[in-house]
Amino acid sequence: MAIVAADTVWVMISSALVLLMLPGLALFYGGLVQRKNVLSSMMHSFVAMGIMAIEWVVIGYSLAFGTGNWFVGGLEHAFLQGIDPYSVTGTIPTYAFVVFQGMFAIITPALISGAIVGRVKFKSYIAFIALWGLLVYDPVCHWVWGGGFLTGEALDFAGGTVVHVTSGISSLAILVYLGKRKGYGYDSLEPHNLTLTMLGAGLLWFGWFGFNAGSALAADEIAAVAFITTLVAPAAASLTWMAVEWLHAGKPTAIGFASGILAGLVAITPAAGFVTPMAAIPIGIISGIICYMAVEIKGKLGYDDSLDAFGVHGVGGITGALLTGVFASVGATGLLLGNPQQLMLQLEGVVITIVYAVVCTIIIGFVLQKTIGFKVSVSEENIGLDRTQHGEIAYNV
């Protein structure tokens, strides 16, 4: 198939938009942590841009999109063998496809950092995301998009299962393994700078248009569908979160509105090109309510999800994946159009992914703890990871 210039330009622009989400994530997470951990938190996002980009072109792309088998791709494209400037995937150069998919591989493990900030050695975090990318992200990506056993079965337009269910449920697994932060439940662990968080939320929403609409891999009508649903769902979710919080807690907060934006973006991701804008509204509303409840209940359940990586990405990803099976009407049919089987396929994909990601994440955490160590000492946690892990401070005043 011949290369289409418009499609190529759109995918390249979308790739850049997705990479912009990493600084957006760094700001979002960085503003939510204590002052002593802001650089450490932001480094978790930025270092993923280096580690995962190299890992992706060396072996990750091949494991995800190589021929392989039902479980994982082969090694025929390791070090991008067999791909040259004239290789074509669909209507775009294969290099453009590699880059676009690589952006997803970069941001997915970085999302997990929101659950573990202030608790993990930096060298161990680097090892964790590298291993997690190879053992969790690449195989699940192959299952859903690369010709594995869920390809053509479970609908996932832009990464509800591949990105958000994997990272969200892995966040829950690793934070339970690590235990709570010192002072959790009785000391003040309030965000140090919510202005950074709000700016980060805006950049994430901006970049998410490339994340979702770029997944059409063409400048066409499906990209336009994904583009508008990416506007509508987070708008509905953020307003819903704000309204629920207003009724429940008495005041609408900035952090609540920003969290609602993220919940809506996460939930619409698997459905973006499969549903209409009017269906995106209830998806946003439902995800806003469910994610708010997930964040509120963590205190009662006693787990320390520092920045609500599981409450927003895990719960939002599961919600969006299942609702895709309900509302799908563009290029696929869901429950509301008389196809209950699609909802069952969505559930199957979610459950399998959850079990696999949890098992792998716990194994990775265990191996790292027994070898190079994983959690920082109590004294390092008290001092803050900016000083103990990086020898720097974010503010000199």
The pLDDT value given to residue 299: 73
Question: In whole numbers, what is the pLDDT of the chain averaged over residues?
Answer: 95
Position 330 pLDDT exceeds 60:
yes
For residue 183, what pLDDT band results from cuts at 50, 70 and 90?
low
Task: Output the DSSP codes for 128-141.
Answer: HHHHHIIIIIHHHH
| CA within 13 Å, CB half, 301 | 12
What integer pLDDT is reported at residue 186 of this predicted model? 59
Lowest model confidence (mean pLDDT) among 222-231, 259-268, 307-316: 307-316
Structure confidence at residue 188 (pLDDT): 59
Domains of the chain, each with CATH number or no CATH: 5-390 (1.10.3430.10)
pLDDT tens readout for residues 1-32: 799 999 999 999 999 999 999 999 999 999 99
pLDDT, tens digit, 9 for 90 and up, residues 232-250:
999 999 999 999 999 999 9
Query: Measured between alpha carbons, how far is 363 from 358 in angstroms, rounded to an integer?
Result: 9
Dihedrals φ, ψ of 373, to 5°?
85, 155
Q: Tell me the CA distances in angstroms from 195 to 26, 32, 117, one per residue in order.
A: 13, 10, 19
* Band of pLDDT at residue 181, cut at 50, 70 and 90: confident
Q: What percent of the chain has pLDDT over 70?
A: 98
Mean pLDDT of 142-169: 96
Asked if residue 339 has pLDDT above 60, the reply is yes
Q: What is the pLDDT of residue 169?
A: 96
pLDDT the model gives residue 396: 84
For residue 198 the two structure tokens come to 């709000």
Q: What is the pLDDT of residue 68?
A: 93
